[in-house]
Every structure is written in structure tokens, then in C-alpha cells.
């Protein structure tokens, strides 16, 4: 059976989803209102603005006024453009994507940037590749640390798969030695999904998988199912 897909977002930086357009219209949809969608496709394109999407789907003089992003053109045919949505402040990919998957502001979600400072957590077990100072004895002796949830927490940030197979669904490249630790919880590492203050669409899907309605397919989670040896 052919699956219909609704385009929920093309980019975080477009403005959750597109901030430009008529002030009177809430949305512009090319999809049939009665269509029952089985999946939502979320595509995040770093640094892309609404005008960039307009230009690439309609063409500019340098492209001979012809579209130059055929895949986005095809996806847009069944997409919905939200004309009165705005980017969060600060307008960055990290709080932007958080806003899309939670509906929360940077303040409510606690996500302002992929690298920040937290006064309640302790440094990681080991110093990260980008220089967040860590050490085995820094928890709970040190409270207050820089927190990095970018590629530096991967086992190998130069690899597309983060360099290791070890977690849920046999795919998780986060190295717990590079994560901040909670001095009030046995100095356990704090994963990104634990750091966020609000629920996400992935939590909703995960919780729904165990309901009487029957099993559903969910995306892999990012936390390991078993304790991780730090030594």
C-alpha cells in the first residue's frame, strides 16, 4: 500500500515553518484537507530561509529562472506552508528543531544553543574533543559546567554514524564519557533527551507504542538500554 506523506517542515531556520507571506492567511496547503496521512516527514536544513525555498523552487536569474531543487519542489506539492509561524529567539538550529518537535520556546524547553553552561550539573567524565574540561573526580566535587550537545559527544564525530554500534536498536553513537553528569543522581551522565525540560513528539510515539491500540514503528532513541561502564 502506498504511503502518503505530509511535509511538516523543511527547515528549522525557515521559521517553523515559513514566516513570510500574507498576513491574513494562516496556511497555504496543496494537500487535500480530507487526506488521512500515515506519516509526517520532518526535514531540517541548517541555515535555510523562506526566501531560499522560494528561490530554489521558482528559480532565479542565475538559474535561468528554472527551479534548482527538484526534490523540494516535489515534496512541496503535498506540503503545508505556515505563513504566520516565527523562528524562536535565539534563531538557531538547536532551539529551532526543539521548537518543532516540542512546541516549546527556548526558555520552556531549556534549549538555547547546542553548547551552553549549566549551574546544576557537573563536568563530564572525560574532556571532550572540543575542549569541555572533564575528569573522573569532577563529580560531585565540581558543580557547574559547560554543556555540549553537538557532535563532540560522539564516539567519533568525524563519522556519519558517530563511530559505534552499542545502543537501542543497535545504533547509538553517543559517548557517555563526554556528557555532563548529575551530582544529585549518582553522577549519572545526562543525555540530550533527559536534559530537555518538556515532552517531545518522540516521547508521544514511544508511549503510544505500548497502548492497547497495538504496536507502532518508532524512531530509535538515543539512550542506551543498559548501564554504561565509564572506566
Phi, psi dihedrals of residue 29, rounded to the nearest 5°: -125, 135
Please tell me the predicted confidence (pLDDT) of residue 215.
43
Assessment of whether the complete model's pTM goes beyond 0.75: no
DSSP SS3 for 222: coil
CA distances from 201 to 11, 42, 206 (A): 17, 11, 9
Burial class (CB in 10 A: 0-12, 13-18, 19+), 2: exposed
Tell the residue number behind the cell numbers 550537545, with chain if given. 149
What is the number of other CB atoms lying within 10 angstroms of the CB of residue 125?
23
Please tell me the predicted confidence (pLDDT) of residue 195.
92
* DSSP structure class, residue 116: E
Which residue blocks in the chain are alpha helix, DSSP H?
50-58, 70-76, 93-102, 106-109, 138-141, 192-195, 201-208
Nearest of 123, 124, 115, 179 to residue 148 by alpha carbon? 115
Nearest of 145, 140, 142, 167 to residue 155 by alpha carbon? 167
pLDDT tens, the chain, 231 aa long: 333 333 333 333 333 333 333 333 455 655 555 566 677 777 778 888 888 989 999 999 988 999 999 999 998 887 777 788 788 888 888 888 888 888 889 999 988 888 999 999 999 999 999 999 999 999 999 999 999 999 999 998 988 878 876 655 555 789 999 999 999 999 999 998 899 988 888 888 778 776 554 444 333 333 333 333 333
Tell the residue number behind the cell numbers 536569474, with chain if given. 61
Residues paired with 7 in a beta bridge: 41
DSSP conformation letters of 34-68: T---SEEEE---TT--HHHHHHHHH--GGGTT--S
Q: How far apart are CA 89 and CA 38, in angstroms?
A: 32
Task: Show the CA angle centred on residue 193, arms to residues 196 and 79, nearest 5°.
Answer: 90
DSSP SS3 for 99: helix
| Domain ranges, ordered by start, for the chain | 5-87, 107-208
Amino acid at each position: 500500500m502506498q504511503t502518503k506523506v505530509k511535509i511538516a517542515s523543511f527547515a528549522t531556520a525557515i521559521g517553523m515553518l515559513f514566516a513570510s507571506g500574507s498576513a491574513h492567511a494562516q496556511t497555504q496547503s496543496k494537500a487535500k484537507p480530507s487526506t488521512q496521512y500515515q506519516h509526517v516527514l520532518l526535514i531540517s536544513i541548517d541555515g535555510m530561509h523562506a526566501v531560499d525555498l522560494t528561490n530554489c523552487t521558482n528559480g532565479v536569474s542565475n538559474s535561468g529562472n528554472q527551479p534548482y531543487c527538484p526534490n523540494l519542489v516535489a515534496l512541496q506539492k503535498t506540503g503545508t506552508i505556515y505563513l504566520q509561524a516565527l523562528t524562536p529567539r535565539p534563531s538557531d538550529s538547536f532551539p529551532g528543531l526543539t521548537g518543532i518537535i516540542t512546541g516549546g520556546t527556548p526558555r520552556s524547553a531549556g534549549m538555547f544553543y547546542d553548547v551552553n553552561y549549566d549551574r546544576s550539573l557537573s563536568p563530564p567524565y572525560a574532556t571532550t574533543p572540543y575542549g569541555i574540561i572533564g575528569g573522573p573526580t569532577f563529580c560531585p566535587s565540581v558543580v557547574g559546567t559547560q554543556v555540549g550537545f553537538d557532535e563532540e559527544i560522539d564516539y567519533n564525530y568525524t563519522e556519519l554514524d558517530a563511530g559505534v554500534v552499542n545502543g537501542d536498536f543497535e545504533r547509538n553513537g553517543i559517548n557517555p564519557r563526554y556528557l555532563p553528569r548529575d551530582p544529585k543522581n549518582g553522577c549519572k551522565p545526562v543525555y540530550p533527551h533527559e536534559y530537555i525540560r518538556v515532552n517531545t513528539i518522540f516521547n508521544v510515539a514511544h508511549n503510544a507504542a505500548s497502548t492497547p491500540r497495538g504496536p507502532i514503528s518508532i524512531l530509535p532513541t538515543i539512550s542506551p538500554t543498559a548501564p554504561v561502564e565509564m572506566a
